[in-house]
Amino acid sequence: MLGVNRTLPEATAFIRENLRPAPAPLLPEITLFQAHSGSGLSRLGSIPYWAYLWAGGAALARHFLQNHEVARGLRVLDLGAGSGVVGIAAAKVGAECVICADTDPFGAAASALNAEVNSVGIKVLGEDVTCEPPPEVDLIAAGDVFYAADVAARMTRWFDHCTSAGITVLVGDPGRKHLPRHRLRLLAEYPVRDFGEGAGKPASTGKVFAFAPRIRAG
Ligand SMILES: C[S@@+](CC[C@H](N)C(=O)[O-])C[C@H]1O[C@@H](n2cnc3c(N)ncnc32)[C@H](O)[C@@H]1O
């Protein structure tokens, strides 16, 4: 299958050949390579998360675009970047530097291509940073990374380490099942379009939360 073990250059070539840049749904400030009926994404064999804008990422991007001071001047990691929409929004409002990390090579490739069409500079990482110590950033912004129980547990553990190291962690999510609600403080809500929602449907609500550091007993 095309999607298994693709290299970054192969993923980049696939996206250039089969997707088209267009303004993101309800986020016209950002252009993203988007799938169309002829894209043939089913050939990839894996779920193409990176080919869509998710409600959580859309909410974080909107949060940065409306509140520049949240990311301006900071070193930002967009974790589970997919299209890179969150990191691109942070770069647009003046983040000092932005890393878009996604373990799917197509996510890394999409982030790089989308940054290019939006004329912003980012660095992409394909490694699983959640296996490593907290990174040297000021802010981690994670859009829609609580989509499955195992991924959610892994993210929660790593965000614990990161907040203990003094890093601010912001989470964007529409309120999915595996969201660790007891660890989150709601900051803002925005009307957004979620994965698979057509323009004819009412907008969803995308929420931005702060991930709270664990309170240690004693
Ligand atoms: C639902 S998509 C969200 C994409 C984008 N943030 C958005 O909101 O539009 C979740 C992404 O997280 C990525 N992901 C899952 N586990 C990861 C990990 N440990 N490190 C980096 N990315 C990861 C997946 O490959 C996928 O692209």
How far is the CA of 192 from the CAs of 50, 56, 67, 169, in angstroms?
17, 9, 16, 21
CA–centroid distance, 94 to ligand 1, in Å, is 23
Determine the atom of ligand 1 nearest the C-alpha atom of 107: 27
The structure's pTM equals 0.96
CA–centroid distance, 83 to ligand 1, in Å, is 9
For 202, residues 6+ apart whose C-beta sits below 8 A from its C-beta are: none
CA–centroid distance, 46 to ligand 1, in Å, is 13
Q: Which domains does the chain have, with CATH numbers?
A: 8-38+45-211 (3.40.50.150)
CB-based pocket (< 6 A), ligand 1: 49-50, 53-54, 56-57, 79-83, 85-86, 101-104, 107, 128, 130, 143-145, 147, 151
Q: What confidence tens digit (pLDDT) does each residue in 92-109 have?
A: 999 999 999 999 999 999
pLDDT by residue for the chain (218 residues), tens only, comes to 455 568 889 999 999 999 999 999 999 999 999 999 999 999 998 889 999 999 999 999 999 999 999 999 999 999 999 999 999 999 999 999 999 999 999 999 999 999 999 999 999 999 999 999 999 999 999 999 999 999 999 999 999 999 999 999 999 999 999 999 999 999 999 999 998 777 778 889 999 999 998 877 65
The DSSP symbol for 5 reads T
Closest CA to 76 of 163, 167, 151, 157: 167
